[in-house]
């Protein structure tokens, strides 16, 4: 049952301490290696497969070796390493910082949001800033927390690192422009596959969290079923749609998707509710994960 203390300790480390220094952050080094391989490989689909296998091997091999350590040492080192591939503290504090800035200065809020999303934030209105913040908070709840923990439960530390490598590859080369279309095809499809179950599971847990928080959980389920597939990604819409329904708001990326119905106006209070909703969703996931580990052979 070493996985339970590793899981709980990793989550605690990330919540209390946050991201490790850049110089020792595995995800930073993943990005550096991906950028290097991108420069030396051709822009063909086979290169994307080679890149994925290479970077996955580099980062899962040490994770496999950690499994041979004695129990106390394994628990500590595995927990520290697992905490580096999840981002609870940074995700929640970044979203909260945008909300705090919006109360004071819209330009500051736009700048802080620009670090979280790929869209142009320079002309966004208050409601558009809030929508984008709630979108990135709820979408990344899967990418940055529940999905890596999901694969840790199934395959241990190597599974968590495999997921983080693929997700980082998708973030860096998984685009449809001429430079990345072929190179990023394989990691982008692999990321879609790996996120299929975690995204849907997290969306359903968000509906359950809405129930416990006395939010509009029925609307959350309705909007999840209706709107989750409206996003370009086959997975990102599940938590965003569930959140839109629970908060009774409409989330929109102009020209790309619209999720939910505008029953209530977006406000900083709605962002705070989204943070509560996401927090309880995470708690429910961890409780569920612990229970699954206990019954696994």
In sequence order, the β-bridge partners of residue 258 are 252
Give the C-alpha separation, 160 to 81, whole Å.
Answer: 10
Give the C-alpha separation, 124 to 122, whole Å.
Answer: 6
Mean pLDDT of 134-150: 97
Residue written as token pair 């290169």? 47
pTM, full prediction: 0.95
Give the C-alpha separation, 223 to 89, whole Å.
Answer: 28
Q: Has residue 46 got a pLDDT over 60?
A: yes
Q: Range of 147's domain?
A: 3-295
Q: In this predicted structure, what is the pLDDT of residue 234? A: 96
* Structure confidence at residue 272 as a pLDDT band (50, 70, 90): very high
Give the C-alpha separation, 236 to 240, whole Å.
Answer: 7
Contact status, residue 235 vs residue 170, Cβ threshold 8 Å = no
For residue 48, which of 232, 190, 236, 196 has the smallest C-alpha distance? 190
Copy the structure tokens of residue 181: 């279309």
Q: In this predicted structure, what is the pLDDT of residue 118? A: 86
CA torsion sign for 225, 231, 236, 242 is negative
Give the C-alpha separation, 163 to 160, whole Å.
Answer: 5
Contact status, residue 149 vs residue 39, Cβ threshold 8 Å = no
% of the chain with per-residue pLDDT over 90: 93
Q: Which helix (H) or strand (E) holds 152?
A: helix 147-173
Q: 29-57 burial string, b = 16+ CB within 10 Å, else e?
A: ebbebbeebbeeeeeeeebbebbbeebbe
For residue 147, which of 131, 159, 158, 137 has the smallest C-alpha distance? 159
Give the C-alpha separation, 204 to 281, whole Å.
Answer: 9
Q: In this predicted structure, what is the pLDDT of residue 1? A: 57
257-259 and 251-253 beta bridge pairing: antiparallel
Q: What average pLDDT does the chain have?
A: 95
User: How many domains does the chain fold into?
Assistant: 1
Q: Please report the DSSP string for 115-139 in residue order.
A: TT-SS--TT--HHHHHHHHHHHHHH
Give the C-alpha separation, 51 to 257, whole Å.
Answer: 31
H helix intervals, 18-86:
26-40, 45-66, 71-83
Give the C-alpha separation, 273 to 246, whole Å.
Answer: 9
pLDDT tens, position by position, 54-101: 999 999 999 999 999 988 999 999 999 999 999 999 999 999 999 999
Which of helix, strand or coil describes residue 202? helix
Residue written as token pair 């206990």? 294
Q: In this predicted structure, what is the pLDDT of residue 74? A: 95
pLDDT tens, position by position, 202-256: 999 999 999 999 999 999 999 999 999 999 999 999 999 999 999 999 999 999 9
């Amino acid at each position: 049952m070493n996985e339970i203390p590793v899981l709980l300790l990793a989550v605690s480390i990330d919540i209390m301490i946050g991201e490790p220094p850049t110089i020792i952050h595995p995800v930073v080094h993943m990005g550096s290696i991906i950028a290097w391989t991108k420069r030396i490989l051709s822009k063909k689909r086979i290169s994307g497969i080679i890149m994925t296998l290479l970077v996955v091997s580099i980062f899962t091999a040490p994770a496999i070796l950690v499994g041979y350590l004695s129990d106390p040492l394994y628990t500590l080192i595995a927990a520290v390493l697992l905490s580096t591939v999840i981002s609870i503290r940074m995700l929640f504090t970044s979203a909260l910082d945008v909300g705090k800035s919006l109360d004071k200065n819209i330009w500051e809020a736009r700048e802080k949001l620009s670090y979280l999303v790929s869209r142009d934030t320079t002309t966004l209105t208050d409601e558009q800033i809030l929508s984008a913040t709630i979108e990135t908070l709820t979408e990344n709840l899967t990418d940055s927390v529940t999905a890596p923990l999901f694969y840790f439960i199934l395959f241990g530390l190597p599974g968590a690192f495999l997921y983080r490598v693929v997700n980082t590859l998708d973030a860096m080369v998984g685009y449809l422009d001429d430079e990345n279309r072929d190179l990023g095809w394989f990691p982008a499809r692999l990321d879609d596959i790996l996120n299929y179950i975690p995204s849907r599971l997290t969306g359903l847990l968000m509906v359950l969290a809405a129930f416990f928080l006395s939010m509009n959980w029925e609307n959350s389920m309705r909007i999840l079923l209706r709107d989750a597939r409206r996003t370009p990604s086959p997975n990102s819409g599940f938590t965003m749609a569930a959140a839109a329904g629970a908060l009774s708001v409409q989330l929109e990326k102009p020209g790309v998707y619209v999720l939910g119905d505008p029953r209530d106006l977006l406000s900083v209070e709605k962002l705070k509710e989204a943070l509560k909703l996401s927090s309880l969703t995470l708690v429910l996931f961890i409780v569920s994960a612990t229970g699954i580990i206990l019954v696994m052979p």
